[in-house]
A and B are shown apart, each in its own frame.
Chain A
Amino acid sequence: MEYGLKPLGKERFWLLLLLAPTIIGLILGAFGSILATIVLSFMRWDLLSKPVWAGLENYTALFTNEKFYIALTNTIKFSAMYVPGVVIISMFVAILLNRKIRGITIFRTIYFLPCVTSAVATALIWNMIYGKDTGILNYFIQSLGGKPICWLCTNNAMLSVVIVNIWGAIGEGMIIFLAGLTAIPREYYEAAKVDGANGAHQFFRITIPLVTPSIFFVTLISTINAFQAYDYIYMLTRRSQGDSSVPVVVFSIYRNAWNFFNYGGASAQAIELAIIVIALMAIYFWMEKRYVVYE
């Protein structure tokens, strides 16, 4: 509290006014909502009749609910493919772009384009591209002599959805990695060269350690995004009644609340999801302390 203006007299009131939206948002929007969701998760309520106290019923139901188990496994499978995919590919692209080549702005624009446009709109075209008999992807596969693949059938839908989600996310990861890479002082590489280090040596001893903050940050936001992934999955795999061929937890929450009016059960699922995400964050921050190198 060493820096800062001291509000004088009437200004205390203005200060409060300036902060009011944020304080209301914190109470109503953030912490109040969490508390409300926790309370709801112990209730049975369809919003029409009176809420009934259900105790731990909603939580014990999660353990026997096969649909939720499938949703949870899907979310974990999705994250396990999506997060490393985004981190590795966007880092790779950033390293290539950082080689001081021509046309960097054009490449950067093209790679970033899917991050600008809505998942809903681009999913429309991906839906066409993935078409079994009519899509260009199978057209290419067939012209190369392969067999057409049913990309959005239950067996392949997960992989197809992961591919589109990664496609939509590498632009952002690339920008973060580029910022991290350009911050590495040139002198480090020059000094290494003088000492006779080859390209691979420089990469693993200088580049990788010094981009660990970027790796950490991209991993963090990709994980948060993976656990909340919804748009592409909704657009590419939804079936009637809010079902999907790749039901993830967010789907399950939405379906329980707005298709089955089981707000208590949906709240319990949301809390479970939050607990998993918070646990993962805790692990990440623990790893950050151990492995991330800050200059």
Chain B
Amino acid sequence: MTNTKQKYILDLVTYILLILGAVIMITPFLWMVATSFKLPADQFTKTLIPNPATIKNFTDLFGTHLNFPLMFYNSFLISGLITVGQLLTCAMAAFCFAVVNFRFRNLLFTLLLITMMIPSQVTLIPNFIIFKWLHLIGTKAPLWIPAFMGGAFGTFLLRQYFLTIPRDLVDAARVDGASLLRIFWNIYMPLSKPALAALAIFTFQGAWNDLLHPLIYLPAVPNTTLTVGLAFFQQQITQGGKYTVLMAGGLISILPLILVFFFAQRQFIEGISLSGMKR
């Protein structure tokens, strides 16, 4: 057997396996899209092309009884605040760790890295008790306030990037009399846009998709997030809800992230590689 023939067969097998896998990966999404355009009476038909197709499931979502727009707004606001908080406070700390020389720097950084290993369940109950004591249960505050207290993942990711910025820039700015804050805000932040974008996407995605925390702090429909709302609607199905409307809701809820993913795929992938490779 010649080498080229062997390669040809191997390529063919590769394609077959990859396409088979891709079908498994994407079928649930296609099925979701298909169902969301079907008539409620056709919700269990086994066709991928809805016939007849309708957009009534989507308009139903914006009917008053579901209050879907409010949940969408809540998810957007909370995720936005969390993203701003993380970008700002993680960048602040990352700058200190990467650029400034101060006592206890290594100790503080090590402590921060250790927190990455802590399962989040351990911190859940005390946080809940604090927010209950502050009478903030049922408000959005417990969901976004912790994001303004830095975080190991974001700080680590940004620090890695800050370390790649040439130190000559800092020295030159220092000679010109620039202060610490100026160097941070006018040199490091603008130069780190790719890393900041990657972290922003990651943080927003995590916040948007979070279920456990809203379930604890904002458990009541309708003034809650999309994830809790969708879980609630799913429960209602057994009492005569429509899968078609549920799928429309699910589709709308994932659409913003899918759009971001298509436009910023590189940042997504870079974020993972950054966190994964340079440990």
List residues of chain A with CB under 8 Å of any chain B CB: 1, 3-7, 11, 14-15, 18-19, 21-26, 28-34, 36-37, 40, 47, 93, 96-97, 99, 101, 107-114, 116-122, 124-129, 131, 134, 136, 139, 167, 171-172, 175-176, 179-180, 183, 214, 217, 224, 227-228, 230-231, 234-235, 249-250, 253-254, 257-258, 263, 266-267, 270-271, 273-274, 277-278, 281
Task: Please name all residues of chain A whose beta carbon is closer than 8 Å to the beta carbon of B122 when the two chains form the complex.
Answer: 33-34, 37, 270-271, 273-274
Sample (15) of A-B pairs whose CB atoms are under 8 Å apart: A5-B99, A5-B101, A6-B101, A25-B151, A29-B127, A30-B118, A32-B126, A99-B14, A121-B250, A134-B44, A179-B277, A214-B276, A217-B279, A227-B119, A281-B117
CA distance A59 to B165 in the complex (A): 50
Task: Please name all residues of chain A whose beta carbon is closer than 8 Å to the beta carbon of B130 when the two chains form the complex.
Answer: 28
| 17 additional A-B residue pairs with CB within 8 Å, beyond A30-B118, A128-B243 | A7-B100, A22-B93, A25-B146, A28-B130, A108-B269, A109-B265, A112-B268, A116-B257, A124-B247, A167-B25, A175-B276, A183-B277, A231-B212, A257-B124, A263-B125, A266-B125, A270-B124
Task: Please name all residues of chain B whose beta carbon is closer than 8 Å to the beta carbon of A125 when the two chains form the complex.
Answer: 28-29, 31-32, 35, 247, 250
Task: Please name all residues of chain A whose beta carbon is closer than 8 Å to the beta carbon of B258 when the two chains form the complex.
Answer: 113, 116-117
Kindly report which residue of chain B lies nearest to residue A11, judged by CB atoms: B180
Complex contact B14–A120 (CB within 8 A): no
Task: Please name all residues of chain A whose beta carbon is closer than 8 Å to the beta carbon of B141 when the two chains form the complex.
Answer: none
Q: Determine which residue in A111, A113, A136 has the highest number of CB atoms from chain B within 10 A of its CB, and name it.
A: A113
CB under 8 Å from chain A, chain B span 17-35: 17-18, 21-22, 24-29, 31-32, 35
Q: Is the interface of A mostly helix, strand, loop or mixed?
A: helix
**Does B148 sit within 8 A of A, measured CB to CB?**
yes
Kindly report which residue of chain A lies nearest to residue B13, judged by CB atoms: A96
Complex contact A5–B180 (CB within 8 A): yes
CA distance A274 to B124 in the complex (A): 12
Q: Is the interface of B mostly helix, strand, loop or mixed?
A: helix
CA distance A14 to B178 in the complex (A): 14
CA distance A139 to B27 in the complex (A): 14
Complex contact A114–B25 (CB within 8 A): yes
Task: Please name all residues of chain B whose beta carbon is closer than 8 Å to the beta carbon of A234 when the two chains form the complex.
Answer: 211, 231
CA distance A109 to B254 in the complex (A): 15
Complex contact B246–A124 (CB within 8 A): yes
Complex contact B121–A228 (CB within 8 A): yes
Task: Please name all residues of chain B whose beta carbon is closer than 8 Å to the beta carbon of A136 when the two chains form the complex.
Answer: 31, 46
Complex contact A15–B209 (CB within 8 A): no
Which of A14, A37, A224 touches B126 (beta carbons < 8 Å)? A37
CA distance A78 to B26 in the complex (A): 24
Complex contact B268–A231 (CB within 8 A): no
